[in-house]
Amino acid sequence: MIDHEAGHLALRTQLVAISGLPSARAWENKDFTPTAGTPYIADQYVPATHRLLTTMAQGGSAVETGLYVIQWFGLKGSGISAIRTGAAAILAAFAPGSSFATTAGDTIRVRTDTAPVPGQILPLDKGWAVCTTKIPWQAYSHNVVAT
Amino acid sequence: MTDFADQMRAFSLKVETKSAAVFANVVSATQGSITDGSPVTGAPGQPVDTGNLKASWHTDFESPSSALISTNVEYAQYIEDGVVAVGSRRGNVTGGTLQRLTLRSAVGGFHSVAQTVAGFPAIVADEVAKAGAP
């Protein structure tokens, strides 16, 4: 099994390197109070499946999949340009086939059989609108059976 | 020669029958992944408050090889993305400062459709394996 904290941080490192990203960030499971009129970014790391690929359980190859969800909270009623430009920058940073090394020695790859997609811009209350980009990832690991 | 042709026809019929069954099972498993969750895709299924959204998902078979799984509930995309829908009571409860939903349902979660789409190849592989060789 990969180190998911390290995996999340590797993806987040790639995210924050994007030029033009809002400086306000609502990171997963951290308290955050948005400021009216100030766009912000939120992320969620969502592990999904873990499957053994080989018949050797101990030390066998396994593949894990999941989603990295990035939400760009922009300003409602200000048009689509800023949010769509941001979503396009996110897509460029997480192109299919991109790989990111983690501090734990794992490698997270953006899947190529299904690609990252930005969603519809949804209007929200209190002057916000959001665009959610979902990045499907996979990572290979060596299975460890507790003895 | 007739025997061989008969055998080929029988084999072809068997493949067609099995393909139709696999297709129906893939569609069923896909809808199940969205609504109830699935260990194959990792989708959590729909969260339940009133049960309206979960019950709204339905399948239309458009052709023998095409099906559309959909919902007409207007807040479905908001639940999928985990954000507070416009005018929802959840938005009022949070005082309007938070845009992200807090999961209160004991079952289900967010991103079920996305997880199902990402896991669709695994659904197909799983159903083909269950069906076995023709």
What are B's interface residues with A at a Cβ cutoff of 8 A? 39-43, 77-78, 81-88, 91, 96-100, 111, 114-115, 117-122
Residue B89 confidence (pLDDT)? 59
Q: Is the pLDDT of residue B128 over 80?
A: yes
Q: Is the pLDDT of residue A74 over 90?
A: yes
- Between CA A80 and CA A82 the distance in angstroms is 6
Least Cα distance to A70 among A113, A39, A107, A104 occurs for: A39
CB contact set of B24 (below 8 Å; sequence gap of 6+): none
Residue B92 confidence (pLDDT)? 42
**Averaged pLDDT of chain A:** 93
CB pairs under 8 A between A and B: 80
* For range B5-32, the mean pLDDT: 93
**Averaged pLDDT of chain B:** 88
Using a CB-CB cut-off of 8 Å, the residues of chain A touching B86 are 123-125
- On whether the CB atoms of residues B75 and B110 are closer than 8 A, the answer is no
For B45-90, the pLDDT digits (tens) are 999 989 999 999 999 999 999 999 999 999 999 999 999 877 765 5
User: Inter-chain contact B83–A122, Cβ cutoff 8 Å?
Assistant: yes
Judged by a CB distance cut-off of 8 A, whether residue A53 touches chain B is: no
Which amino acid, A14? Q
- Between CA B97 and CA B94 the distance in angstroms is 6
Token readout for B81 is 């993305």
* For range B113-120, the mean pLDDT: 96
> Closest to A122 (Cβ–Cβ): which among B81, B118, B122?
B81
Using a CB-CB cut-off of 8 Å, the residues of chain B touching A46 are 111, 115
End-to-end CA distance of chain A: 16
* For range A36-60, the mean pLDDT: 92
User: Inter-chain contact A49–B84, Cβ cutoff 8 Å?
Assistant: no
- On whether the CB atoms of residues A7 and A139 are closer than 8 A, the answer is yes
Least Cα distance to B84 among B58, B50, B110 occurs for: B110
- On whether the CB atoms of residues A100 and A11 are closer than 8 A, the answer is yes
- On whether the CB atoms of residues B108 and B47 are closer than 8 A, the answer is yes
Residue B97 confidence (pLDDT)? 52
Residue B86 confidence (pLDDT)? 74
Using a CB-CB cut-off of 8 Å, the residues of chain B touching A72 are none
In chain B, DSSP assigns E strands to 58-63, 66-70
User: Inter-chain contact A44–B81, Cβ cutoff 8 Å?
Assistant: no
CB contact set of B32 (below 8 Å; sequence gap of 6+): B38
User: Inter-chain contact A71–B81, Cβ cutoff 8 Å?
Assistant: yes
User: Inter-chain contact B115–A123, Cβ cutoff 8 Å?
Assistant: no
Residue B98 confidence (pLDDT)? 63
What DSSP element (H or E) covers B30?
helix B2-36
* For range A115-130, the mean pLDDT: 91
- Between CA B105 and CA B82 the distance in angstroms is 12
For A91-115, the pLDDT digits (tens) are 999 999 999 999 999 999 999 999 9
Token readout for A108 is 């997270």
Query: pTM for this structure?
Result: 0.89
Residue A9 confidence (pLDDT)? 97
Determine the distance in angstroms separating the CA of B10 from the nearest CA of chain A, rounded to an integer: 35
Torsion of CA B29, B34, B38, B43, to 10 degrees: 150
**Is A26 in a helix, a strand, or coil?**
strand
Q: Is the ipTM above a cut-off of 0.95?
A: no
- Between CA B80 and CA A27 the distance in angstroms is 19
